[in-house]
Amino acid sequence: MVVPLAMGWRHLLFENWPIDPDVMDAHLPDALAPDTYDGSAWLSVVPFTNVAVRPKGVPEAFGIRLPELNLRTYVTRDGVPSVYFFSLDAQGLTSVLGARVFQHLPYYYARISLECADGRVAFRSRRKHPGARPVHFEGRYWPTGEPFSAPEDPLAEFLVERYRFYTEAQDGSIRYSDVSHPPWTLYPAATEIETNTLLSAHGFAEPDTEPVCYYSPGLDVTASRSQQE
């Protein structure tokens, strides 16, 4: 990352499955270890949209909107609980290329739409990145129940209250960035997912359990420069 970034994350679904830690470990770089909760590693699909993405200090009016679909898990390194991204599908071709070159993030170009109506979010994504495995995700999600602060729930805190993310660059190096934001406000979420090939495209078997799902209306975030371990 050339400069620190500021942005907003909006209309997020966190769709989470428990995974055998040994299975997860086989998908991770050697430098990272799976983080576990109740003896399981966790794999998460996160559709959302970025808003007002811009260099830190630049007014929001100059930011761009960038819908995304992420596949991620949870890792530790030197005792720091972190996120590891397997992939980040995004709508903007220029933004995808910039993130790959300057942020060393595994972004893939996709055609994405996110629409909100009647309290529900309709999200569609189809990967169009040259040479990449195809991915198709389509579904709806919405909040249910009462809002709560993620740190009040142990599993929710494990899954969302993380302030460092790791990626593996194309040269095999491990890179990280730190993020800063308030604690997450979450809702229990209901979903109607028609298609999701994101997991299988990255070598994961179809989960045999129902996901744990949370919705968040979002929050504002700053992210540091990408740094090499």
> Mean per-residue pLDDT for 13-37?
97
CA torsion sign for 132, 204, 139, 40 is negative
- Which pTM does this prediction carry? 0.94
**Encoding tokens for residue 70?**
């992420």
* 8 Å CB contact between 86 and 167: no
In angstroms, what CA-CA distances link 1 with 69, 175, 210?
Answer: 20, 10, 36
Confidence (pLDDT) at 130: 84
Looking at the chain, the number of H-run helices and the number of E-run strands are 4, 14
In angstroms, what CA-CA distances link 109 with 19, 55, 98, 171, 223?
Answer: 27, 21, 11, 20, 21
Q: List the domains of the chain with CATH numbers.
A: 5-228 (2.40.400.10)
The answer to whether residue 1 scores a pLDDT higher than 80 is no
**Length of the chain (residues):** 229
C-alpha to C-alpha distance for 221 and 66, rounded to whole angstroms:
14
> Given pLDDT bands bounded at 50, 70 and 90, which one contains residue 132?
confident
CA torsion sign for 198, 157, 66, 5 is negative
HSE at residue 49, side-chain half, CA atoms within 13 A, is 22
Confidence (pLDDT) at 94: 52
> Given pLDDT bands bounded at 50, 70 and 90, which one contains residue 229?
confident
C-alpha to C-alpha distance for 119 and 139, rounded to whole angstroms:
14
- Does residue 223 sit in helix, strand or coil? strand
Closest among 141, 164, 162 to 150, alpha carbons compared: 162
Confidence (pLDDT) at 150: 98
* 8 Å CB contact between 104 and 226: yes
